[in-house]
Structure 1
Amino acid sequence: MKKIQALTDPEEIKASVTTFRKGDVSLETWKSLTHGAYSHNSLLSFQNDWETFLGFCREHKVSPLPAAVTAVRRFVEQTAKTRKAASIKRYIITISMIHRVHAHPDPTKHREVRFTLNKLYREKADDAGQATAFHLEHLNALHEKLSDSDRLKDIRDLLIWTLCFEGMLKRSELSALSYDAPQKTDNGFVLHVGEHVISLSEQAGDLIERWLLVSGVADGPLLRGINKHEQLGDTPMDHSSIYRVFRRAASELGEENAFTFSGQSPRVGASQDLSQAGLSIKEIQQQGRWKSPAMPAQYVGNKQARDEAMDKLKRKIELD
């Protein structure tokens, strides 16, 4: 974390505190407050992090600036239910910086908060090898930002993010999609993935029709590489191309300094979103076409179910 000089003028501090309590702080204000020490994308991350914390404070009717130690601790505990350790670390950095710059005591340094954080990091140690979750909120934010774009690459990437999330697709499944994998029915679009038929949202259906229209794809692979001249290739996208598309998602959201999405991220995020919506591990397993409940159980943090499933799978392999 860069050392940013704190405000010293009482009137300036008062005015700035009022601005940050209200929220929706402009990037220019963030840039001025941090004396231009951070990149545009870093400022976007700070802005998003602060809005997340403000939302929590408004919901619980507590002060965001200065924030009480208990409020920060409860914020950590609540966000830990849906966020990875890396995201929470970034939230804490932002909260700490805003308090220090406004000459307020830093609540994140209190032993109560540090104890909660240390406990959280230990509990989330198993997440280290797991892809960063790509949630519905991420997809909605990308739609809001890019849905009006006429660029071929924007339309394709938005379609990739949408199909991967709604269909919980593996990278290999995405690459293998043919031009006729999406089919329009009386009830909207469906996606054929092997022997499975997946219902798609109206939003996904609109994107499919738009992609087929602007790309001119009428045979071969549905999704393909695009060169710097906006020219469409003939071959399906490979794993490295898909990885770059998901790296772009984090960049578009201003989150590239906090985490990196991968082709596996939508399966992780969709599993967690479905679990939050009340679906069982078995139901998530069926929707994601897993042979075993072990992976969806791991994705949603059900370690007991994961271990039981892995033991059952190992016994089956030994018997075979």
Structure 2
Amino acid sequence: MADMTPIAGLIATDGHDIAERLREFVQDREAFSDNTWNQLLSVMRIGSRWADEHGRSFLPMSPADLRDYLLWLQASGRASSTVSTHAALISMLHRNAGLVPPNSSPQVFRAVKKINRAAVISGERAGQAVPFRIGDLLTLDQRWSDSERLQQIRDLAFLHVAYATLLRVSELGRLRVRDISRAADGRIVLDVAWTKTIVMTGGLIKGLGDLSSQRLTEWLTLSGLNAEPDAFIFGPVHRTNCARVETSKPLSTRALEDIFARAWQEAGPGQDARSNKNRYRGWSGHSTRVGAAIDMATKKYSTAQIMQEGTWKKAETVMRYIRHVDAHAGAMVDFMDQHIKV
């Protein structure tokens, strides 16, 4: 987005300084991921509509108005994590407009604490993707590795790379054939230009094991993409069982999510998983990251190692995924097991 259209309507006619700062903000939108920017636009639409309907100001927003807005979001059925996202993005918008964020007020702090406490007491739990474990990958490998359908060969290679690298769906989608090199033993090395949390000129290097290297090689050979360095690795497959060379745009998130849906139909437990916040009824784009993290924790790899593999910046995120793995490894469980005979 190159203009001020979504923001212009939020600014008072005399807010020339604010308008100029926001214009600079929009010009530098490439500093943020598409997901963050789209979330910001969504918060702006919802927040400005609320402000209009309730006779409040969205920009700048007073602490009292922000408190009422966050409580309104909660009363409207939004999860506490969604409410926190709105608060954080409103703060970001104010900072970039040169305004004091209303979030710094104790009034808002108490409101957020109240919302989080009410959510926990009411039984709200953080949503989590259904884990895609190593056993699931090997089951699919047995079923799809000799398939005559090119789509299944591509899907299997994609799932191998997704599990082995712990990359996010968008990061997997933009990998190109030219990003592939080979180690001395023939295994594949992927040069990942950047991730959600790592944006630097050196990029990120991911290596694949023997089986994953073999499956990706098979896909590239059968599809003919080996000779197309600018092509996205995981491109479309035509209904005539031929791969289409795509160099302009990667597969959509929906198309990549469909790979997980087909895998679930093939090798899932046979029925939808228990609903998790009305989502996550089967494998989804985050499932390989969650499953790989759980498998690594089960094999006693350290939290730091798991964070490095998944490019997570916060240990709390990893701990949320693996919290059930070491549930019986605590000091108190060990103490009681040693002193109580059943």
Partner of 2:10: none
Partner of 1:198: 206
How far 1:213 sits from its partner (Å)? 1.1
State whether residues 192 and 198 of structure 1, in contact with CA within 8 Å, keep that contact through their aligned partners in structure 2: yes
State whether residues 247 and 261 of structure 1, in contact with CA within 8 Å, keep that contact through their aligned partners in structure 2: yes
Partner of 1:232: 243
Structure 1 residues 302 and 285 mapped into 2: Cα distance closer, same or farther (>3 Å)?
Answer: farther
The alignment partner of 1:180 has SS state of: helix
Instruction: Select the structure of larger CA radius of gyration.
Output: 2
Q: AA paired with 2:191? A: H
The alignment partner of 2:295 has SS state of: helix
Residue 212, structure 1, aligned to residue 197, structure 2: no
The alignment partner of 2:191 has SS state of: strand
How far 1:150 sits from its partner (Å)? 2.8
Partner of 2:112: none
Task: Show structure 1 runs of 5+ residues with no match.
Answer: 1-121, 304-320
How far 1:292 sits from its partner (Å)? 1.8
Higher helix fraction: Structure 1 or Structure 2? Answer: 1
Q: AA paired with 2:163? A: F
* Separation (CA, whole Å) in 2 of partners of 1:199 and 1:206: 13
What do residues 197-239 of structure 1 show as CA deviations (whole Å, max 9, x unaligned)?
A: 1121111111122111111111321111223222333242111
Equivalent residues in 2 for 1:3-152, closer than 5 Å = 129-152=127-150
Residue 276, structure 1, aligned to residue 305, structure 2: no
What do residues 123-147 of structure 1 show as CA deviations (whole Å, max 9, x unaligned)?
A: xx77661100000000000001111
For residue 156 of structure 2, the aligned residue among 155, 158, 162 is: 158
Q: TM-score, normalised by structure 1?
A: 0.53
Partner of 1:88: none
Residue 169, structure 1, aligned to residue 183, structure 2: no
Structure 1 residues 258 and 128 mapped into 2: Cα distance closer, same or farther (>3 Å)?
Answer: farther
State whether residues 182 and 208 of structure 1, in contact with CA within 8 Å, keep that contact through their aligned partners in structure 2: no
For residue 257 of structure 1, the aligned residue among 248, 271, 287 is: 271
* Separation (CA, whole Å) in 2 of partners of 1:126 and 1:282: 28
**Percent of counterpart pairs with the same letter?**
28
What do residues 15-48 of structure 1 show as CA deviations (whole Å, max 9, x unaligned)?
A: xxxxxxxxxxxxxxxxxxxxxxxxxxxxxxxxxx
How far 1:298 sits from its partner (Å)? 0.8
The alignment partner of 1:224 has SS state of: coil
Partner of 2:278: none
* Separation (CA, whole Å) in 1 of partners of 2:305 and 2:268: 33
What do residues 242-270 of structure 1 show as CA deviations (whole Å, max 9, x unaligned)?
A: 11100111111143523310010000000
Q: TM-score, normalised by structure 2?
A: 0.50
Task: Show structure 2 runs of 5+ residues with no match.
Answer: 1-119, 194-202, 274-281, 326-342
* Separation (CA, whole Å) in 2 of partners of 1:175 and 1:222: 8
* Separation (CA, whole Å) in 1 of partners of 2:137 and 2:220: 21
